[in-house]
């Protein structure tokens, strides 16, 4: 039994109190077909909303099976609607983007039914209301009569003891109206059906009770047909919507309205691109700051460089090099690590150039020619470099003197431009023969030498005071010395004296024995070694073969350069697994602005947090506009028994699916750029600074934004009553 005792409903708007209806007394029972009539504004629809729990009342008492409801909260009304009431609205309130089947299915999903138990019953209901051939037709494509049939089928699927219908035939032609009324009449045999209409003559023959209202009061309450009035309303059994059903609805809602999908896709893509580009830009700026770091020992401080030695301190073998080169992230390997730190100094009459050396592997240059001889080199630098922009012709025409013990004449024959270089950095690409000569000189300069002459020891530490040079005029065991070393020999006579030379560095020791065959003087120096005597001080010449034996041995220290700096640590671990000791150059550098760098990291974190907050409010504002048209959908969910948590969950899964789809498209785009299927220099540069960790963090942020937007919008929906929310349209 549904009973009203002196119930009144008032509205308060703009400081004015309006009466919906006043002092209504009414008893309604199971099995009744109740028809409420009256002119517009008589209060009949308001009465129907109170009876169905869509609206509250102010005075009096409404009883459900004898239980008072004046104390009901919104949650209590929700439970009342779930257990007792199904609504059929004048404007149908179907989900236009759903098919006939999906609209009816929705009611059963909200009641916690599983997919497998839904299908058969929904199909039966569709057939019952005569819409079998429209099963998969979207509601937006149906006529008014067909939509009303779907609304009735949905009410039946909800399986409540009370069905209320507000002007169910108001927008229908006479034939469609008759069919709808007949269906409702058939339903009323074991339910309480309450209809509001202003066309009394159309429904009078079906009514068991006629109620006429005027000016908020009941003028007539006529029992047309006597029925068993002792039966209580039996509430239906309800269960919570299943997680799988929420997921299904979330996926369905994400893609079922093209314009909404496109707009939300754009929003999530903008969020993703903004986060990734800003983070990468900050990381790039941080790396540039780190790039100002230096090392006093290593000239080449490229962050991609890793220096290698073997744990057992033995020399590298070809097998070792093959194992290293087989690692995925290796860009190239330099067998002799010292080559990376040799700085070339070139001097001419009016120019002075310096830079690190690399072995030339280039087949093309931007300006000039490819080197053909050992004394020809390529220079590499930025187009903004002062020398390469203002003195290019002079550089290519001049001969330079190599500042080293080699004293070679060098020609720069080619130029390669690389804008990743600073405006002052240069690199020289030389032949393998010249690199070997420079390498031997570098090893010599980093080695200690003990020179024993006529039982006297001359100690050398890092190249001073004895300089060891090579001559191809000498045979093994033959030695030239400069005349200033004659003081170590008895009576200054060093000819045919025995010499013992020992070389020691951090990797190996080597020695050789020989005999002095010439003493270099002012008279013979130029002829014998092609050097002026003034350039020779404490100098020893040995054969080229023995020189190589001392200073061009197997490699004990090598370097690799990685392709992707973001995988530097991973590559380091892989190298350690090959029984190698490693030194990452980036960890060996000093930065005078270390505190500035730490402040920069804190600033980066704060900026990212601010960015996320700003993105949330901007995206929520746009999302609120887009989803205003979806208010009726979530209000329909409420009328079908959906709680605030259920509505938020469905919206949350919808937004998560949209964000996931958007992010997958973004990752596809990034990979197309990475593998050069799409060419975009801007993103190609940025993605170098983003690791998997950053991609994961960005997606987590997207998920959090989706969840926060869902909760915030869900609260907004539930701030208003169902009736008010249904009235909101764009």
| Mean pLDDT along residues 66-94 | 89
Residues 6+ apart with CB under 8 A from 486: 492, 493, 494, 519
More confident residue, 566 or 577: 577
Q: What pLDDT, in 10s, does the model give residues 42-60? A: 999 899 999 999 888 999 9
Q: Is the pLDDT of residue 723 over 70?
A: no
CA distance 584 to 575: 11
Q: Is the pLDDT of residue 727 over 70?
A: no
pLDDT on residue 595: 55
Q: Is the pLDDT of residue 291 over 60?
A: no
pLDDT on residue 231: 67
CA-CA distances (angstroms) from residue 209 to 26, 219, 288?
Answer: 11, 13, 84
Q: Is the pLDDT of residue 459 over 70?
A: no
| Mean pLDDT along residues 218-245 | 81
pLDDT on residue 219: 93
Q: How many other C-beta atoms lie within 10 A of the C-beta of residue 52?
A: 25
Q: Is the pLDDT of residue 670 over 60?
A: yes
pLDDT on residue 266: 94
* Reported confidence tier of residue 572, pLDDT bands at 50, 70, 90: very high
Beta strands in 69-125 (DSSP E): 85-88
| Token pair 């390529």 in the structure block, residue | 378
Q: Is the pLDDT of residue 591 over 70?
A: no
Q: How many other C-beta atoms lie within 10 A of the C-beta of residue 394?
A: 14
Closest-CA residue to 376 (of 322, 431, 298): 431
pLDDT on residue 403: 86
* Reported confidence tier of residue 229, pLDDT bands at 50, 70, 90: low
Mean pLDDT for the chain overall = 87
Q: Is the pLDDT of residue 319 over 50?
A: yes
The CATH architecture of the domain made up of 2-239 is 3-Layer(aba) Sandwich (3.40)
Beta strands in 521-615 (DSSP E): 539-543, 558-562, 580-584
Q: Which of 296-305, 633-642, 684-693 has the highest mean pLDDT?
A: 633-642
Q: Is the pLDDT of residue 230 over 80?
A: no
| CB-based burial, 299-332: b 16+ in 10 Å, e otherwise | ebbebbbbbbbbeeeeebeeebeebbeebebbee
Q: What pLDDT, in 10s, does the model give residues 10-38? A: 987 767 888 889 999 999 988 899 999 99
* Reported confidence tier of residue 577, pLDDT bands at 50, 70, 90: very high
| CB-based burial, 218-236: b 16+ in 10 Å, e otherwise | beebeeeeebeeeeebebe
Contact 618, 718 (CB under 8 A): no
Q: What pLDDT, in 10s, does the model give residues 100-111? A: 999 999 999 998
CA distance 78 to 90: 21
More confident residue, 610 or 566: 610
Residue spans per domain, the chain: 2-239, 244-286+595-726, 298-327+560-589, 337-440, 446-551
| Mean pLDDT along residues 318-345 | 92
Q: How many other C-beta atoms lie within 10 A of the C-beta of residue 109?
A: 24
For residue 222, the surrounding DSSP H or E stretch is: strand 217-223
Q: Is the pLDDT of residue 730 over 50?
A: no
pLDDT on residue 322: 95
Q: What pLDDT, in 10s, does the model give residues 169-215? A: 876 778 878 888 888 888 888 889 999 988 777 788 889 999 999 99
Q: Is the pLDDT of residue 592 over 70?
A: no
Closest-CA residue to 169 (of 85, 91, 86, 104): 91
pLDDT on residue 296: 63
Q: Residues of the chain with pLDDT > 70: what percent?
A: 94
| Mean pLDDT along residues 378-401 | 90
Contact 531, 483 (CB under 8 A): no
pLDDT on residue 214: 92
pLDDT on residue 574: 94
Contact 613, 619 (CB under 8 A): no
pLDDT on residue 487: 86
* Reported confidence tier of residue 462, pLDDT bands at 50, 70, 90: very low
Closest-CA residue to 277 (of 724, 664, 666): 666
pLDDT on residue 721: 66
For residue 569, the surrounding DSSP H or E stretch is: helix 568-576
Torsional sign, CA 635, 639, 643, 646: negative
Q: What pLDDT, in 10s, does the model give residues 630-666? A: 888 888 888 888 888 899 999 999 999 999 999 999 9
Closest-CA residue to 272 (of 603, 550, 666, 621): 666
């Amino acid at each position: 039994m549904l009973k009203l005792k002196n119930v009144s409903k008032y509205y308060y708007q703009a400081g004015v109190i309006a009466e919906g209806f006043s002092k209504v007394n009414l008893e309604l029972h199971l099995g009744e077909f109740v028809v409420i009539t009256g002119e517009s504004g008589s209060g009949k629809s308001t009465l129907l909303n109170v009876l169905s729990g869509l609206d509250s009342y102010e005075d009096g008492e409404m009883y459900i099976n004898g239980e008072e409801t004046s104390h009901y909260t919104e949650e209590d009304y929700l439970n009342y609607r779930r257990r007792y009431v199904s609504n059929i609205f004048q404007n149908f309130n179907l989900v236009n983007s759903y098919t006939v089947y999906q609209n009816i299915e929705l009611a059963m999903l909200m009641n916690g039914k599983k997919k497998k138990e839904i299908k058969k019953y929904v199909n039966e209901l569709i057939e019952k209301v005569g819409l079998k051939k429209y099963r998969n037709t979207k509601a937006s494509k149906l006529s008014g009569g067909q939509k009303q049939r779907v609304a009735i089928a949905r009410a039946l699927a909800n399986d409540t003891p009370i069905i209320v219908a507000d002007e169910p035939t108001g927008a229908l032609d006479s034939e469609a109206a008759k069919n709808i009324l007949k269906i409702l009449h058939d339903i009323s045999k074991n339910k309480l059906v309450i209809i509001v209409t202003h066309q009394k003559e159309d429904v009078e023959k079906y009514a068991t009770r006629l109620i006429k209202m005027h000016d908020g009061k009941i003028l007539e309450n006529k029992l047309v047909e006597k029925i068993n009035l002792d039966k209580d309303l039996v509430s239906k059994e309800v269960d919570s919507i299943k997680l799988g059903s929420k997921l299904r609805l979330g996926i369905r809602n994400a893609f079922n309205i093209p314009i909404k999908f496109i707009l939300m896709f754009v929003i999530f893509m903008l969020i993703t691109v903004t986060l990734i580009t800003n983070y990468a830009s900050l990381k790039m700026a941080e790396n540039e700051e780190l790039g100002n770091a230096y090392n006093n020992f290593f000239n080449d401080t490229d962050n991609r460089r890793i220096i290698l030695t073997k744990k057992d301190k033995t020399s590298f073998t070809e097998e070792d090099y093959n194992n290293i080169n087989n690692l995925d992230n290796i860009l190239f390997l330099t067998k002799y690590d010292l080559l990376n730190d040799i700085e070339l100094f070139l001097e001419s009459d009016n120019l002075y150039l310096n830079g690190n050396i690399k072995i030339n592997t280039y087949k093309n240059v931007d300006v000039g020619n490819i080197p053909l001889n050992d004394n020809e080199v390529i220079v590499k630098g930025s187009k903004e470099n002062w020398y390469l922009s203002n003195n290019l012709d002079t550089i290519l025409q001049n001969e330079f003197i190599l500042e080293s013990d080699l004293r070679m004449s060098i020609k720069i024959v080619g130029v390669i431009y690389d804008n990743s270089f600073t405006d002052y950095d240069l690199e020289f690409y030389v032949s393998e023969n010249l690199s070997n000569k420079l390498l031997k000189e570098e090893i010599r300069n980093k080695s200690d030498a003990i020179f024993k002459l006529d039982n006297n020891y001359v100690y050398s530490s890092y190249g001073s005071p004895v300089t060891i040079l090579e001559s191809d005029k000498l045979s093994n065991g033959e030695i030239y010395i400069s005349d200033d070393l004659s003081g170590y020999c008895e009576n200054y006579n060093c000819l045919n004296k025995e010499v013992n030379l020992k070389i020691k560095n951090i990797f190996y020791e080597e020695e050789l024995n020989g005999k002095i065959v010439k003493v270099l003087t002012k008279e013979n120096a130029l002829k014998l070694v092609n050097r002026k005597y003034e350039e020779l001080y404490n100098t020893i010449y040995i054969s080229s073969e023995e020189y190589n034996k001392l200073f061009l041995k197997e490699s004990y220290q090598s370097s690799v350069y990685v392709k992707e700096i973001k995988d530097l640590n991973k590559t380091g671990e892989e190298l350690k697994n090959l029984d190698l000791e490693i030194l990452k150059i980036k960890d060996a550098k000093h930065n005078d602005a270390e505190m500035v760098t730490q402040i920069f990291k804190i600033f980066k974190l704060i900026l990212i947090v601010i960015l996320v907050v700003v993105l949330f409010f901007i995206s929520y504002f746009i999302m609120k506009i887009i989803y205003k048209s979806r208010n009726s959908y979530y209000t329909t969910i409420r009328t079908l028994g959906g709680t605030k948590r259920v509505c938020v969950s469905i919206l949350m899964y919808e937004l998560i699916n949209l964000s996931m789809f958007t992010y997958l498209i973004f990752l596809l785009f990034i990979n197309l750029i990475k593998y050069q299927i799409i060419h975009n220099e801007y993103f190609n540069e940025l993605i170098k600074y983003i690791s998997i960790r950053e991609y994961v963090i960005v997606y987590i942020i997207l998920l959090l934004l989706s969840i926060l937007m869902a909760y915030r919008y869900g609260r907004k929906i539930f701030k208003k009553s169902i009736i008010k929310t249904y009235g909101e349209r764009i």
